[in-house]
Amino acid sequence: MTQKGINVFFVRHGQTYFNLMNRFQGWSDIDLTEKGIADGQAAGKRLSKVHFTAAYASDLPRAYKTAQFILDENEAASPAKATLNRDFREIFFGSAEGLTIKQIAEDFDHDIDTSMVDGAIGYGDTIKKYGFDGLMDLFKKNDPLSLAENADEFNSRLQHGLNMIRQNYEIGDNVLVVTHGSLMRALANKYKSPELASKSLSNGAVSKLTFEAKKDGDVTIDLWNDTEKVW
């Protein structure tokens, strides 16, 4: 394991029923499918030899349940349970939650070209066209209740969580964070990998980033969306 910085292992939660239906979840409480449980267990087996100094999970059930499956497989004296942290929640899509990208595009009053969207693939297409932050702002703009997070609101929350990791851990520490697909896309966008931001992540996939311990230090994407590597 690298000693150049803090090793942060981000894992996307296991498959849920809304994932299966290609519907936006956001903060909605949607349970894991049987495959989703297996996704968490499989990630845990691949990471079972890694000693995690700390483990965090989004406070949404699909994330912290996945985190528990991962930690139950751990053989390296890692924490028995993850600490819940709402900074690592999914983006809040507001009134768009539960809808498909096609339905969302139709509701957005021509802000999104409906001819270019089709299920989960269309989400990546819209990110390519409008940019990740631009698309988040469209969710806010078109939410009749103005509940959805815009890019500034979400990025501020995410940065708070990342700062917490930098402030509390040292070079060589391994930190587990079980989180969500769009949050992972936001990380890719933030760390200058917009092409990765437009691509879907597999449920239970591991992405490893190295954070320089100092504030505003460099971040390196070492591994992305991996479902095979055994550590």
Catalytic residue among 90, 97, 149, 180: 90
- Give pLDDT, residue 120: 44
Determine what percent of the chain is predicted with pLDDT higher than 70: 93
Q: What is the pLDDT of residue 118?
A: 45
| Residue 68 labelled as part of a binding site | no
Structure-token match 């969500």, residue found: 180
Looking at the structure, give the CATH architecture of the domain made up of residues 6-226. 3-Layer(aba) Sandwich (3.40)
On whether 24 is known to bind a ligand per the annotation, the reply is no
Out of 13, 97, 149, 180, which one is annotated catalytic? Answer: 13
C-alpha 39/C-alpha 31 separation (Å) is 13
Burial 133-147 (b: 16+ CB within 10 A, else e): bebbbbbbebbeeeb
Domain extents for the chain?
6-226
34 is catalytic: no
pLDDT band (50, 70, 90) for residue 123: confident
**17 a known binding residue?**
yes
12 forms beta bridges with 179
b (16+ CB within 10 A) / e for 51-62: ebbbbbbbbbeb
pLDDT higher than 50, residue 4: yes
CA pseudo-torsion sign 21, 23, 26, 29: negative
More confident residue, 207 or 2: 207
pLDDT at 192 over 90: no
The model's pLDDT over 59-102, given as tens digits with 9 standing for 90+, comes to: 999 999 999 999 999 999 999 999 999 999 999 999 999 998 77
User: Token pair for residue 94?
Assistant: 């507001």
Length of the chain counted residue by residue: 231
Q: What is the mean pLDDT of residues 6-30?
A: 97
Residue whose entry in the numeric block shows the structure tokens 């949404």: 60
106 noted as active-site residue: no
- Per-residue pLDDT, 191: 92
Q: Which residue shows structure tokens 């996704």?
A: 39
